[in-house]
Amino acid sequence: MDDVDVALLQETGKPPSDFEERGWIGPVAHYDSHVWNSNWFEGRWNNLLERWPMVVQLSDRVNVEWFKQVSPISLVANDEIAVSGIGTIAAARIVPTADDMPAFISISAYARWLSPHPDTSTNFRVGYSDASAHRIISDLSAFIGTTDPATHRIIVAGDFNLTNDDDAPDQDFMRRERTVWDRLDALGLEYLGPRSTPDGAGRVMRTPTYRPVQQQPESAKWQLDHVFASRGFHDQIKVRALNSAEEWGASDHCRILIEVD
């Protein structure tokens, strides 16, 4: 996709060498919290050491100014973001080279699954992701400085591991999930989907973005990936899930195309 300028990635492994050579992945400190975190987690989960959200530059039509991760302190430098969850967020300022387009903040979000405490009786087979999502919201709140959403230009996108679907089978857990969407809305971040065409009853149906790796794209039924943008700025943004069999790609999550006018 030669016409794409920036990629918001989640659960990334080692990037291609040509991206590193061109400087398009930014400093390690923008995605790898080992830079400021201790090594207490070594040996607990091997994949934890290489699965990160990242903001990656893909063209010369933009300049990307990455924010380095630091511990969750109250005062940060201009090029830093305070982060409270390991491997949950990466942020950058996107500066288009075209003179007529202002800069905006892009945030790649990955709401990691967390397991209940070993002392806790549970029936959560894979854990829960809403706690990670709330940490992401707390961290991105640093880019919101007034109660008027129109003063911000922020895009938040990624794998929230949440459905945002009132028809989901586990209605009890949906009450917890709903608190995530309510907090984002309260911060002036508009939900952009991706959405499917409304059904006959006028409801906006979910757009499948995830399938188990052993299944084909045609069988996908869960939407775990979502896009938000500052209210007002959201009118300039179009979102589409590339979830057909021809467009899906190699991941268990489809790609989502975000166009900013």
Q: How confident is the model at residue 170 (pLDDT cuts 50, 70, 90)?
A: low
Answer positive or negative: Cα dihedral of 155, 156, 159, 165: negative
Cα 190 to Cα 232: distance, rounded to the nearest angstrom:
9
Mean pLDDT over 169-180 rounds to: 79
Task: Please determine, for residue 42, whether its predicted confidence score (pLDDT) is greater than 60.
Answer: yes
194-232 burial, b if ≥16 CB within 10 A, otherwise e? bbeeeeeeeeeebbbbbbeeeeebeebebbbbbbbbbbe
Q: Give the model confidence (pLDDT) of 93-132 as tens digits.
A: 999 998 889 999 999 999 999 989 999 998 888 889 999 9
The confidence score (pLDDT) of residue 48 equals 56
Mean pLDDT, all residues of the chain:
88
Structural domains of the chain, with CATH:
71-260 (3.60.10)
| 179-234 pLDDT, tens digit each | 999 999 999 999 998 986 555 555 556 799 999 988 999 999 889 999 999 999 99
Buried b (16+ CB within 10 A) or exposed e, 159-180: bbbbbbeeeeeeeeebebbeeb
Look at residue 175 and tell me whether its pLDDT is greater than 60.
Answer: yes
